[in-house]
Structure 1
Amino acid sequence: MTDRLLDFSGKVALVTGGSRGLGREMVMALAERGADLIIASRKAEACETVAEEVRSMGRRALAIGAHCGKWDEIDSLIEAAYAEFGRVDILVNNAGMGPRMPSEEVPENLYDSVLNLNLKGPYRLSSVIGKRMKDAGSGAILNISSVAALQPLAQVVPYSAAKAGLNAMTIGLAREYAPEVRVNCICAGPFLTDIAKAWTEEARQTADNALGRPGRPEEIVSAALYLLSPASTFSTGSVITVDGGI
């Protein structure tokens, strides 16, 4: 039996970057606890695969292919979500990318792409949906940031800057849309998602944190569920780390 504080029955959740990695883990965790899902990422086919898994659990699911760094596609995503479900109760801004490159070699189009996906897109989604949530009387938004926002790393400076902006956006929107809407943020550490395939074997086994290892994707779930659920009704504008103790 699901704890009533972690019961998402009747809720509609939109998760960007929801077709794989941390996003997929959060999609499945919400569906297992009763939520209906809108799964968005650039590859519609991958979203549909996850949507089918959600439907097999008895939940409704909508798969939408959208570039979550482009406002026109974001606006279309929002309208499709509301047309299908009539509302969005939960928004998870998870889509992101952080290519490693010497700063002097970063071309303008890559810089723009990193800022667009990690900051511009979440701003548009959160501001449009957040206002609708406030008007409806309730809602929860969760931004997935990075420890790189708190301890910026060499050769991923645009990513670190964008995630620092996401942290600031979290606090600002939490104040703007309170008390009806709560806006919180997780600064994630290294996780064994698809990007870890490019890591060395040592990096996949060990990490420079207190626990000495990268996180397993499912280890994002408990923090995400807490911040999205009635268990955290007095938490908004919070930026917490889930990083193994970096």
Structure 2
Amino acid sequence: MSDHRDAGTSPFSGFDLTGRTALITGATRGLGLAIARAFAGAGADIVVSSRKEDACTATAEELRADHGVKAWAMPCNVSSWDQCTELAHRAEQVTGGIDVLVNNAGLSPLYPSLGEITEALYDKVIGINVKGPFRLAALIGEAMVARGRGSIINVTSIESDHPSVYALPYAAAKAALANTTIGLSRALGPHVRVNTISPGPFLTDISKAWDMAKFNAAADQAISMRRAGEPGEIVGAALYLASDASSYTTGATIRVDGGVFGTLG
């Protein structure tokens, strides 16, 4: 991975990830799976990580069969500091070095009221959405610095800018992750780039629980494109940030939200 480009002299190679290895958390479904498939299609070898080993194994097998790349199943509960430490060390050792880290795993449990949010729920949300991504980025980021190259992509949420009353711990966690991104970009620069993708509502597994009539009414009032996104619509931003196309982009947030301009719930 090139750490810089000379403006006007280097050819643009597009979103080619051949010869690179990406570790993606939450990679077995939703946006993480869409990103894993896109990266494999662009030539990257993939470390597939999520909580369930069987899901990781199935996804890794799919990527190998469909794209002819290397793929490893490495389950991890990213809310665990120790499991993140183990994942980072194992991924670095087994693959020979991670070029792209995508901190995509996230969780936003429902709660009946603010007063009924438990400490366990709050800590779990912070753990998965902030603590784990920080630990992985710190360890893998330092290894990237030693090699003189790398890209880290933190997936946040439009909730960090437009918090809803039904997801306040999640909104706080994602805002913290966005802020962490900026600090990491300074700490790990100039050769490692750290950026954020901030998705809006997407039609993933989680949307099956939505009241679609209520959502569509809200989307008409708060989203410029007046709809939710399809999972494949996240991959352009991810490919951009993972590849040399973004060689002068760091500490940035790319919103992929259809133009959200208000609170959806």
Q: TM-score, normalised by structure 2?
A: 0.90
The 5-angstrom pairing of residues 175-194 of structure 1 reads 175-194=186-205
CA–CA distance in structure 1, aligned partners of residues 237 and 32 of structure 2: 13
Could you tell me which residue of structure 1 aligns to residue 96 of structure 2? 86
SS of residue in 1 equivalent to 2:151:
strand
Instruction: Indicate conservation of the 8 Å contact 1:103/1:156, yes or no.
Output: no
Letter in 1 for 2:88: I
The 5-angstrom pairing of residues 103-122 of structure 1 reads 103-122=114-133
Instruction: Indicate conservation of the 8 Å contact 1:145/1:163, yes or no.
Output: yes
Out of 195, 201, 226, which is 1:212 matched to?
226
CA distance 1:95–1:203, shift in 2 (3 Å): farther
Could you tell me which residue of structure 1 aligns to residue 7 of structure 2? none
Q: Does residue 25 of the first structure (1) align with residue 34 of the second (2)?
A: yes
CA distance 1:229–1:203, shift in 2 (3 Å): farther
Could you tell me which residue of structure 2 aligns to residue 124 of structure 1? 135
CA–CA distance in structure 2, aligned partners of residues 189 and 139 of structure 1: 26
Structure 2 gaps of 5+ residues are 1-11, 261-265
Letter in 2 for 1:168: N
Note the C-alpha offset of 1:4.
Answer: 2.1
CA distance 1:204–1:10, shift in 2 (3 Å): farther
CA–CA distance in structure 1, aligned partners of residues 214 and 186 of structure 2: 39
CA–CA distance in structure 2, aligned partners of residues 130 and 83 of structure 1: 14
CA distance 1:218–1:205, shift in 2 (3 Å): farther
CA–CA distance in structure 2, aligned partners of residues 43 and 203 of structure 1: 32
CA distance 1:129–1:203, shift in 2 (3 Å): farther
Runs of 4+ in 1 over 4 A off after TM superposition: 203-206
CA–CA distance in structure 2, aligned partners of residues 204 and 15 of structure 1: 29
Out of 66, 74, 78, which is 1:64 matched to?
74
Letter in 2 for 1:195: I
Instruction: Indicate conservation of the 8 Å contact 1:97/1:114, yes or no.
Output: yes
SS of residue in 2 equivalent to 1:65:
coil
SS of residue in 2 equivalent to 1:39:
strand
Residues 181-219 of structure 1: per-residue CA shift (max 9 Å, x gap)? 000001110000110010013256562301110000000
Letter in 2 for 1:72: D
Q: How many residue pairs get matched?
A: 244
Out of 41, 44, 63, which is 1:35 matched to?
44
Q: Does residue 50 of the first structure (1) align with residue 59 of the second (2)?
A: yes
Instruction: Indicate conservation of the 8 Å contact 2:92/2:140, yes or no.
Output: no
CA–CA distance in structure 2, aligned partners of residues 31 and 229 of structure 1: 13
Structure 1 gaps of 5+ residues are none
Q: Does residue 236 of the first structure (1) align with residue 250 of the second (2)?
A: yes
Could you tell me which residue of structure 1 aligns to residue 163 of structure 2? 152
